[in-house]
Amino acid sequence: MKQFTVDVLTPSRAVARNIPAQALLIPTSRGQINVLPDHTHVVTQLSTGMLSIFGGADDPDRHFTVTHGICKVLEDKIVILSNTSEEQHEIDLDRATRALKFAEDKLANEALDEEDHLKFHRKAERAKLRIQFAKEQKNRK
């Protein structure tokens, strides 16, 4: 089967480069999209969620958290430009739990302006995703 490659990048690091893939599920602001070989060119906004890269018979499936950014699907190359991203095995459950409590406390106990409210809402959303992801990884072991 025809393959393409995927890069997952953040402002601070290249999370993964040139991952071979036969299919890809991408969380976007308009819903999840499934990318297969020869997909039409797309540039779309990411939303917080799980990016799933399906490698096929010879390559393992890989899963990443992504938060707000851009996805570019161009011919046989997909580039994910995310504000933050981690591969599933990199997530620290205790750290994510502390981050969720901190964000929820800020949202519940402080008068926040619109910008700060959005910031802590996104932090809580990201922490919930990371907790869910880490628990799924733990259950697979």
Place of tokens 């599933």: 88
So what's the pLDDT on residue 141? Answer: 59
Kindly report the length of the chain.
141
Is 10 or 58 the better-scoring residue by pLDDT? 10
C-beta separation of 114 from 121 below 8 A? no
Domain ranges of the chain: 4-87, 91-140
**Residue closest to 88 by CA, chosen among 136, 21, 33:** 136
pTM of the model: 0.83
pLDDT above 90 covers a percentage of the chain that reads 59
The residues near 108 (Cβ < 8 Å, ≥ 6 apart) are none
Q: Which CATH homologous superfamily contains domain 4-87?
A: F0F1 ATP synthase delta/epsilon subunit, N-terminal (2.60.15.10)
